[in-house]
Amino acid sequence: MLSTFHGLEAARRGMMAQQAALYTTGHNIANANTEGYTRQRVQLRPTPPFPTPGLNRPSIPGQMGTGVEASSVERVREYFLDVQYRGENSKLGYWEARADAVAKMEDIMNEPSDSGLAKTMDQFWQALQDLSTHPENEGARSVVRQRGLAVVETFHYLSNSLTQIRDDIGSQIGVAVTEINSLLNQIRALNERIAEIEPNGYLPNDLYDERDRLIDQLSQFVDIQVEKHPVGGNSLPAAEGTYDVYVLNGNNKVYLVQGRNAASVSFPDGSDVDGDGGKEMPPASGVNALDIGGTTVFFSSLPNGKLRGLIEGYGYQTGTDASGQPIVKGLYPDMLANLDKLAYTFGTLFNAVHQQGYGLNGSTNHLFFAGLGGVNGAAKTITLAADIDDLANIAAATKSGETGNGNNAINLANVRSLLLSNATVSLQDGISVDLASLSLPLSSGTVETNYQGWIGQLGVDGEQANRMKSNSETLRQSVEEKRQSVSSVSLDEEMMNMIKYQHAYNAAARQITVIDEMLDKIINGMGVVGR
């Protein structure tokens, strides 16, 4: 026999379940614009029917439904899309950092334009040509000196600005490492709270969302992998468990977060500027390795991401040279080294020609450029020689005492287009330069073509970075779209649900009214026959 109040209980359960669903709808609407929020759905499930099979079961025609319950509140999310999103996000982080570094370099180099190094060199060359036609003219000499000064200052400006930007990138790396460590800590803390809640049979959906959002953020810096670990206890099957986050170092997993523990990232030979005890600033000599929770990960095996992109701009070590000094490669170190080579080659070669010429006063063996102690830092140290303060010492002539002789000025003007691959170069009026004995750091092309080549390389680097940035942006966007398609809140849908649940709630209430009337009939209307 069924209980008298069976229908009343089923209707009550209906009202309560629809109410729970309606409240979840409210939660979804409220979070429609929350970043990282996943829409939630109440899993409605019929309660176990009556009777359950057994020896004492009542004999009724069939199993009678007992109503509904809200069994769980679950996120609507596809884990596979998260994995895809994070992979693309790492690539985007990497290419964004690289494109940004190249763009800043392009701004500084300012080529092709009327104010870059190439133009300054052109103007210097033109001043020397003018000097060749007016060697006895103080004005022409003064212009040569000023244009020479402009060349020197352009080298200084480029070198200093590039160094400045490189330092900025160093600070960005510091900020990135600090942010990574903060993210790792937050993820660890969330793991901890989730591990405390899940064994009680709850699904901490909003904590899951928060943790996934943090991992999305982390994936921008390094390409990470995530492993799930169930926490046991009375956990529901839909429980996510704790997340272990790791990067691959070759085939080995290096854990950033492992359950309730978080590693911290630092540079073993770096420095600590914010005083928190972690060396988050990379060493000036370039990054060799990272320390992740006590494991050394060499830069060469650091996976994609913004961190790698930044370090590639800043500089990384690729081994040591013959004298045990680290060899530093990278976007900025390379361009700085190139400028040094250019300044050294140009200055040395120019001096070699200048020293063989004669000034207005018949004097010879004067330097034009000074400060060329070595290739390293030449672009910063190159200056005009003190000899040139006396304009008469500019060696325009190929012979002593010939004030109208401008042939050496022509020789000087041709320095920037001398083929550096020749062993010796013969110039006008029997002047020759033994390139082999100068041991120049550049040995092919000309000063001019080498520079053009580097600008071309810079352009190709930038073009690739921009293209890859835009590609990974598109890919990330398409994955993000798929993810949103699954997980984001549709207001129309929530409105539909709201109406749906409202109707169901109302109908359940009406059901109670019907049963109430039935009971009224039994209690007040029965047993009074014939009254």
Q: Segment contacting other proteins (CB under 8 A): 166-174, 179-187, 436-444, 487-495? A: 487-495
Tally Cβ neighbours within 10 Å of residue 423: 8
Least distance (Å) from other proteins to the CB of residue 409? Answer: 10
Nearer to other proteins, 102 or 289 (CB): 102
Q: Shortest gap between Cβ of 226 and other proteins (angstroms)?
A: 24
Q: Is 33 in the site for other proteins (CB under 8 A)?
A: yes
User: Which of these ranges, 158-166, 177-185, 200-208, 447-455, lies near other proteins under the rule CB under 8 A?
Assistant: 447-455
Q: Which residues contact 381 (CB under 8 A, 6 or more apart)?
A: 371, 372, 373
| Stretch in the footprint of other proteins (CB under 8 A) among 341-349, 381-389, 453-461, 510-518 | 453-461
Report the alpha-carbon distance of residue 351 to residue 354 in Å, rounded.
5
Please tell me whether residue 125 binds other proteins under the rule CB under 8 A: yes
Residue closer to other proteins (CB basis): 428 or 437: 428
Quote the Cα angle for 153-154-157, to 5°.
85
Under a CB-based contact definition with an 8 Å cutoff, are residues 61 and 456 in contact?
no
Interface with other proteins: number of residues (CB under 8 A): 66
Tell which one of 36, 46, 51, 459 touches other proteins (CB under 8 A).
459
Footprint on residues 196-215 left by other proteins (CB under 8 A): none
- Of positions 402, 431, 438, 471, contacts other proteins by CB under 8 A: 402
Question: How far from the centroid of its chain's Cα atoms is residue 468's Cα?
Answer: 13
Q: Contact between 27 and other proteins (CB under 8 A)?
A: no
What is the spatial distance between Cα 282 and Cα 280, in angstroms, rounded to a whole number?
6
Find the shortest distance in angstroms from Cβ 189 to other proteins: 28
Among 386, 436, 495, 518, binds other proteins (CB under 8 A): 495
Residue 396, SS3 per DSSP = coil
* Nearest alpha-carbon partner for 95 in 300, 313, 280, 287: 313
Cα–Cα distances (Å) from 138 to 148, 359, 360, 402, in that order, read 15, 12, 10, 15
CB of 492 to other proteins, least distance (A): 4
461 membership: H or E segment, kind and range: helix 447-487
Distances (CA, A) of 42 to 234, 403, 501: 19, 98, 11
Binding mask 135-154 for other proteins (x = CB under 8 A): -xx-----------------
Give every CB contact of residue 196 below 8 A, 6+ residues apart in sequence.
none
Binding residue for other proteins (CB under 8 A) from 82, 88, 111, 291? 111
Q: Does 446 bind other proteins (CB under 8 A)?
A: no
Handedness of CA 210, 214, 217, 223 (dihedral sign): negative
Binding site for other proteins (CB under 8 A): 32-33, 102-103, 106-107, 109, 111-112, 116, 118-119, 121-123, 125-126, 129-130, 132-134, 136-137, 397, 399, 401-407, 410, 413, 428, 448, 451-453, 455-463, 465-466, 477, 481-482, 484-486, 488-493, 495-496, 499
